[in-house]
Structure 1
Amino acid sequence: MILVTGATGFVGSALCAELEARGLPFRAASRSPRPGCIGVGELGEATDWSAALAGVDRVVHLAARVHVMKERAADPLAEFRRTNVAGTLRLARQAAAAGVRRFVFTSSIKVNGEETQPGRPFTADDPPAPQDPYGVSKLEAEQGLLELGRSSGMEVVVLRPPLVYGPGVQANFRSMLRWVRRGVPLPLGAVDNRRTLVALDNLVDLLIACLEHPGAAQQVLLAGDGEDLSTPDLLRRVAAALGTRARLVPVPPALLSTAAMLVGQGAVARRLCGSLQLDLGKTRRLLGWTPRVGIDEALRETARDFIQSGG
C-alpha cells in the first residue's frame, strides 16, 4: 500500500490517477477529509499519521508549504520550517516506526540554487545553495530524512523537480498561456537562456519509478523533460500548442532586467532571462529512466486543458 500526501494538489491528484490506472494500491491523504481521501489536519510537528499509515509500506510525500511570490508571513523561514521540516520529519519518524519500507520526498531544485551558468547545469550531487526560506526548508527536510534513513533502515529517496507544467497548471505558467493566447506582445525575443522544465506526466512517472526501483534508495535525484528550452523557444512552442503565434519583441535583456527591478519585479525577470538547467544523468543511470512524453506533446495537453477550462 502506497500513501500519497498532498493528494488533492496539482501533482498529487495526477499521481493518484496514475497509480489507479496501473492497478497499484494507494491511500490518499490531505489536510481535510474528502471522498476517497483521508484527512490528517495541518502538516506540523503534532500531526497524527497513525490512521493514514496503517498497512502502508511506501510513502510519497507531496504535502508542503509551497513557495509563494508575495510572502505575507512575518517570519517566512519559521513558517516553512514548521511545515516543511518539522511536519515532514514527524511523518517520516512515524512511517519508520510503522515499518514503512520506502519514503519518497518531493523536494525542489531551489535546494541547488536559483540560476545556472551557461553550460554548467546543476547536478544532484552539487553542494546545496538555497537562496530563499523555501529552499532552505526543503534542504533541511532532505538532510533530516536522509539521516533518519541511515539510522532507521527506511529507504529514503529525494527528488528535486524544477517548474512543473501540465493540465491544470496555475500561477505564472497559466498567466503565460493567457498572454500568448491573447496575442500580448512579450519583450522576450532577445533572451538567450536555457531552462529545464518537467511535464506533469513525466514527474508522475518518475515518482512511481522512485517508489519501485532498488537503485533509488538513499539517493538525491533530479527531474526534467530531457530537453532544455530558451524562454523565446518555450513561448513559440506554447503558441503552437495553442494554435497561434507568439508575438515576441526583441528587447535587450539588460534593459528588461533594469525596467523590471524599477517596478519591483526583478525576481520575475531573472526567471525569464536567466538559465536554470538540470543534468539528469544520475537519474537516467541509476533508474534507467527516460521521460515518458516529449515537451510538445505535454504542451498540447496543457493547452487543450487550458482552453477547455475557459482560459
Structure 2
Amino acid sequence: MTVLVFGGSSQIGHFLLPRLLASGEPILALSRQPRPPQSGVQWLQGALPDAVPALPALSAIISFGPLQALAGWLAQARLSDAPRVIATSSMSAETKRDSAVPAEREISRQLRDGEIALAAACARHGCAWTVLRPTLVYGAGLDRSLTPIARRAMRLRLFPLPSGQGLRQPVHADDIAQAVLAALDCPAASGQILPIGGGERLPSGQMFARVRRSLPRATVPLPLPAWLLRMGRQLLPPLRGPLSRLDSDLVADNGELHRLLGVHPRPFQPESSMWIPPR
C-alpha cells in the first residue's frame, strides 16, 4: 500500500517524509514546485483541488494544505479503498473566532468550514479521519511567523521585543509529524479534532527573547512598550490583529493528544539552525 502526502515539501512534510520512509511504505508526494529526485518518494507536481493522476491503492492520505481544497478533491476522487486521512488545520480556528479584525474572523470561519467539509468528504468514502490543530509552528525555517522575525533581526542587527504577556505555546514541526504517524495507528483518534501545542507555555515576550538568544549573530534589543503597540494597532491595520493578541493566551490543551496518541511535544528551546530553510 502507498501513502499519499499533500504538502510533502512543507515544514511538517520536511520531518514527516523521513519518518514515513523508515516505515517502509511507498510514498507519493504532491508539491506545487518541481522537486529533486528522492529515494523512496515519487514526487508529483500540482496543487489541490486539481486532479491528481490515477492512484494506486492507498493506505493513508496525509495533508498539510488548505482543508477546503482537500475536501473538494476527496469529493471527486476515485479511491479503490478507504484510506486513513490525517490533515492539519490550525488553532486559529478558535483563537481568531472573535477577532476584532474581520479578515481574521473569516480565516477562523474558513478553517472550521474546511474541517466540516473534510469530515463529510471522508464519510462518503468511508474513510476514518483525524484533524490536528497546531499552535504556532516552527523548526524548519519555513514558517511565516517566527522565522521572518529572526531573519529580519539578523539582517538589521536589531530585534524588536514587544511587551505582551499573553502565553504562547510554539510547537515544533517534527512533533506534529510524530503526531501524524501516531494518529495513523490509533483507531480511537478517528473522527477527532485534536489541538497540538508545544510542551511549554511561556509569555510572548519571553518567546521572542529566546528567539533572539538563539540567533547566530548579535542583535540589539529594541523594547516596544505598550503605548507604542497601541499606536501601532491604529496606524498599521495589517498588524492590528497580531498586536491586539500580544496580551491574549494562544495555547492548546494537549490532554487528548497525550491520552490518545501518547505524543508529548518538546519545550521551546530554539537553535540557530531552525531559522535556515532546508536545501
User: TM-score if structure 1 supplies the norm length?
Assistant: 0.74
Q: 2:46 aligns with which of 28, 36, 41?
A: 41
Q: How far apart in 2 are the matches of 1:8 and 1:178?
A: 21
Q: Give the partner amino acid of 2:60.
A: R
Shift of 1:141: 1.9
Q: 1:242 aligns with which of 195, 199, 215?
A: 215
SS in 2 for 1:13: helix
Alignment partner of 1:139 is 2:144: no
Shift of 1:5: 0.7
Q: Give the partner amino acid of 2:87.
A: F
Alignment partner of 1:269 is 2:243: yes
Q: Give the partner amino acid of 2:4.
A: L
Q: How far apart in 2 are the matches of 1:37 and 1:290?
A: 31
- Residues 33 and 239 of structure 1: CA distance in aligned 2, closer, same or farther (over 3 Å): closer
Q: How does 1:123-272 map to 2 (within 5 A)?
A: 131-181=104-154, 183-184=157-158, 186-188=160-162, 190-242=163-215, 244=218, 247-249=221-223, 251=225, 253-264=226-237, 265-272=239-246
Shift of 1:245: 7.1
- Residues 187 and 12 of structure 1: CA distance in aligned 2, closer, same or farther (over 3 Å): closer
Match for residue 260 of structure 2? 286
- Residues 43 and 115 of structure 1: CA distance in aligned 2, closer, same or farther (over 3 Å): closer
Shift of 1:225: 1.0
Q: 1:304 aligns with which of 248, 273, 276?
A: 273
Q: How far apart in 2 are the matches of 1:261 and 1:37?
A: 49
Contact kept in structure 1, 2:178 and 2:263, CA below 8 Å? no
Q: 1:61 aligns with which of 60, 63, 86?
A: 63
Alignment partner of 1:31 is 2:25: no
**Structure 2 residue ranges without an equivalent (≥5):** none
Deviates more, 1:210-219 or 1:255-264: 255-264
Match for residue 125 of structure 1? none
Contact kept in structure 2, 1:166 and 1:201, CA below 8 Å? yes
- Residues 200 and 269 of structure 1: CA distance in aligned 2, closer, same or farther (over 3 Å): same
Q: Deviations over 1:106-149 (max 9, x none)?
A: 11112113289xxxxxxxxxxxxx94333322222211222344
Contact kept in structure 2, 1:239 and 1:246, CA below 8 Å? no
Contact kept in structure 2, 1:49 and 1:94, CA below 8 Å? no
- Residues 59 and 185 of structure 1: CA distance in aligned 2, closer, same or farther (over 3 Å): closer
Query: Alignment length, in residue pairs?
Result: 266
Q: How far apart in 2 are the matches of 1:289 and 1:114?
A: 26
Contact kept in structure 1, 2:140 and 2:276, CA below 8 Å? no
Q: How far apart in 1 are the matches of 2:161 and 2:264?
A: 34
Alignment partner of 1:18 is 2:49: no
Q: Give the partner amino acid of 2:94.
A: N
- Residues 155 and 142 of structure 1: CA distance in aligned 2, closer, same or farther (over 3 Å): same
Q: How far apart in 2 are the matches of 1:206 and 1:56?
A: 20
Q: Deviations over 1:33-63 (max 9, x none)?
A: 543544353422xx32352x31211010123
* RMSD after superposition: 2.9
Q: How far apart in 2 are the matches of 1:171 and 1:308?
A: 12
Q: Which runs of 4+ in 1 moved over 4 A?
A: 179-183, 243-246
Q: Deviations over 1:65-105 (max 9, x none)?
A: xxxxxxxxxxxxxxxxxxx42x3223323567421331112
**Structure 1 residue ranges without an equivalent (≥5):** 65-83, 117-129
